[in-house]
């Protein structure tokens, strides 16, 4: 019964009427070469410019669709070979994208925008080809915090207000998603992440080891490194990121604008292959189990399958005695709702970069998002894979603090927070 419940819970929350069937998208189809329309790559102009595509990834559960596109050979259908390349840190991913050692990468949404805006690294025009996943990250606090009575946001705020000592929190990259989720959550509790606590940067696979030796009191990271802390009995889950923002965008398929310009056919082939992989992962519990077994291997995430699979299936326990089935667990496809590179999603990260002083002035939020989020390439890849498209390039959400983000007035939104830099 539990498995059936999970399958039911994993159905998309949006109405199918919100999406336009690609079968009816005649105007879109007209933009796509005939070889793509048939799902095959004809010789000549439709053929991928690069047959082998090196895609960097960090050892995290949400690298799964990139890995499975290669392992299950979804890439072959579109005339390419994806070579997943394991990287040590987000800074390494950034550098290898910028210098061309990697063609594309499984990468933090905010990292791509940081490079685009010249913050958190060298300035270079970047491209986001698709969103790889939604949900599935968390904030972990150490067991020592539990001993002090801090088990959630309000109790953590009380502890920090006592100023007994400086508390340290880790994120994975200064402009990245985990930094933004951590800052947003702390600020929603009335804690200023830049003034009331110390924040440090630690690569995802090193989080658990650093907490074990007392280098931080809490961290925000992707799975499986939150569940690993629970299983190793060194920490517990204070909140999940889907509780901060349900169905938030997380990792993207990132590359440089220059690479897309040189390899547009390859770009849409990669999008199509990864869409097929995400669709396959989300299709069934056995597929998720198989995915967990594959990515647990040493060449990918390098941990025990059971550490990955529980939260991948939405079966959560927080390390404090609470267990639940989370219908908003990590998704890789969700009928295509996951993958569209919404302009409003890209804009949101820039509003937070402005909020926390990373950007000194307001950019032209919409213009930058239109430049970075390559909706044109995504649409072509989605058409090749037979994936539905949303009616709008913007979407709205209410986050944990009750504030609605809809992309309509990004400057006002960025300036409107009480807790900021």
Overall size of the chain counted in residues:
421
C-alpha to C-alpha distance for 112 and 120, rounded to whole angstroms:
10
Task: List the beta strands (DSSP E) in 19-174.
Answer: 19-20, 52-57, 81-86, 104-108, 126-131, 137-142, 168-171
Name, in order, each residue with C-beta under 8 angstroms of 66's C-beta and a sequence gap of 6 or more. 55, 57, 82, 84, 106, 132, 253, 274, 277
411 assigned to some structural domain: no
Name, in order, each residue with C-beta under 8 angstroms of 80's C-beta and a sequence gap of 6 or more. 48, 50, 51, 52, 53, 266, 269, 270, 273
pLDDT by residue (tens digit) across 58-99?
A: 999 999 999 999 999 999 999 999 999 999 999 999 999 999
177 assigned to some structural domain: no
pLDDT by residue (tens digit) across 106-128?
A: 999 999 999 999 998 889 999 99
243 assigned to some structural domain: no
Q: How many CB atoms lie within 10 A of CB 123?
A: 12
313 φ, ψ (degrees, to nearest 5): -85, -5
pLDDT score, position 57: 98
pLDDT score, position 120: 81
74 assigned to some structural domain: yes
Fill in the DSSP letter of residue 322: -
121 assigned to some structural domain: yes
Confidence of residue 199 (pLDDT cuts 50, 70, 90): very high
Distance of CA 356 to the CA centre of its chain: 20
CATH number at residue 121: 3.40.190.10
For 347-376, what is the mean pLDDT?
98
With beta carbons less than 8 A apart as the criterion, state whether 115 and 121 touch: yes
Q: Is the pLDDT of residue 361 over 90?
A: yes
pLDDT by residue (tens digit) across 211-250?
A: 999 999 999 999 999 999 999 999 999 999 999 999 999 9
150 assigned to some structural domain: no
C-alpha to C-alpha distance for 282 and 284, rounded to whole angstroms:
6
Residue 368 CB-half CA count within 13 A: 25
Confidence of residue 5 (pLDDT cuts 50, 70, 90): very low
Q: By percentage, how much of the chain surpasses pLDDT 70?
A: 90
57 assigned to some structural domain: yes
154 assigned to some structural domain: no
Domain tally, the chain? 1
**Residue-number span of the structural domain to which 335 is assigned:** 2-133+251-317+331-342+361-405
Q: Is the pLDDT of residue 16 over 60?
A: no
Closest-CA residue to 297 (of 135, 67, 66, 75)? 67
C-alpha to C-alpha distance for 58 and 295, rounded to whole angstroms:
11
Fill in the DSSP letter of residue 415: H
With beta carbons less than 8 A apart as the criterion, state whether 330 and 157 touch: no
Rounded to 10 deg, the angle between the 109-117 and 365-372 helix axes is 110
């Amino acid at each position: 019964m539990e498995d059936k419940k999970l399958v039911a819970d994993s159905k998309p929350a949006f109405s199918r009427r919100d999406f336009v069937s690609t079968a009816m998208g005649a105007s879109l189809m007209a933009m796509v070469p005939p070889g793509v329309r048939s799902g095959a790559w004809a010789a000549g102009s439709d053929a991928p410019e690069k047959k082998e595509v090196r895609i960097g990834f960090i050892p995290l559960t949400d690298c799964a669709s990139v890995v499975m596109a290669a392992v299950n050979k979804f890439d072959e259908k579109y005339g390419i070979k994806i070579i997943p390349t394991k990287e040590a840190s987000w800074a390494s991913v950034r550098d290898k994208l910028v210098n061309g050692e990697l063609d594309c990468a499984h990468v933090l949404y905010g990292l791509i925008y940081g490079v685009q805006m010249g913050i958190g690294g060298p300035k270079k025009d970047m491209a986001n080809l698709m969103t790889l996943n939604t949900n599935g990250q968390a904030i972990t606090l150490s067991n020592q915090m539990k001993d002090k009575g801090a088990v959630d946001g309000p109790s953590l705020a009380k502890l920090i207000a006592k100023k007994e000592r400086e508390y340290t929190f880790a994120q994975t990259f200064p402009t990245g998603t985990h930094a933004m989720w951590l800052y947003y959550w702390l600020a929603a509790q009335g804690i200023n992440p830049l003034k009331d606590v110390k924040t440090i940067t630690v690569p995802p696979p090193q989080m658990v080891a650093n907490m074990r030796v007392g280098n931080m009191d809490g961290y925000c990271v992707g799975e499986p490194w939150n569940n690993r802390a629970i299983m190793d009995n060194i920490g517990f889950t204070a909140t999940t990121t889907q509780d901060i923002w349900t169905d938030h965008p997380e990792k993207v398929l990132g590359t440089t604008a220059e690479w897309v310009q040189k390899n547009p056919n390859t770009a849409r082939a990669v999008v199509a292959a990864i869409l097929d992989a995400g669709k396959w992962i989300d299709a069934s519990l056995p597929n998720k189990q198989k995915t967990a077994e594959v990515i647990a291997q040493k060449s990918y995430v390098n941990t025990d399958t059971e550490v990955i699979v529980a939260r991948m299936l939405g079966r959560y326990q927080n390390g404090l005695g609470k267990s639940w089935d989370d219908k908003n667990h990590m998704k890789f496809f969700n009928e295509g709702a996951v993958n569209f590179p919404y302009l409003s999603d890209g804009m949101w990260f820039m509003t937070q970069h402005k909020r926390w002083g990373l950007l000194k002035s307001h950019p032209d939020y919409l213009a930058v998002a239109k430049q970075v989020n390559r909706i044109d390439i995504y649409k072509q890849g989605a058409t090749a894979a037979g994936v539905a498209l949303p009616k709008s390039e913007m979407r709205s959400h209410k986050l944990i603090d009750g504030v609605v983000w809809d992309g309509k007035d990004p400057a006002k939104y960025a300036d409107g927070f009480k807790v900021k830099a």
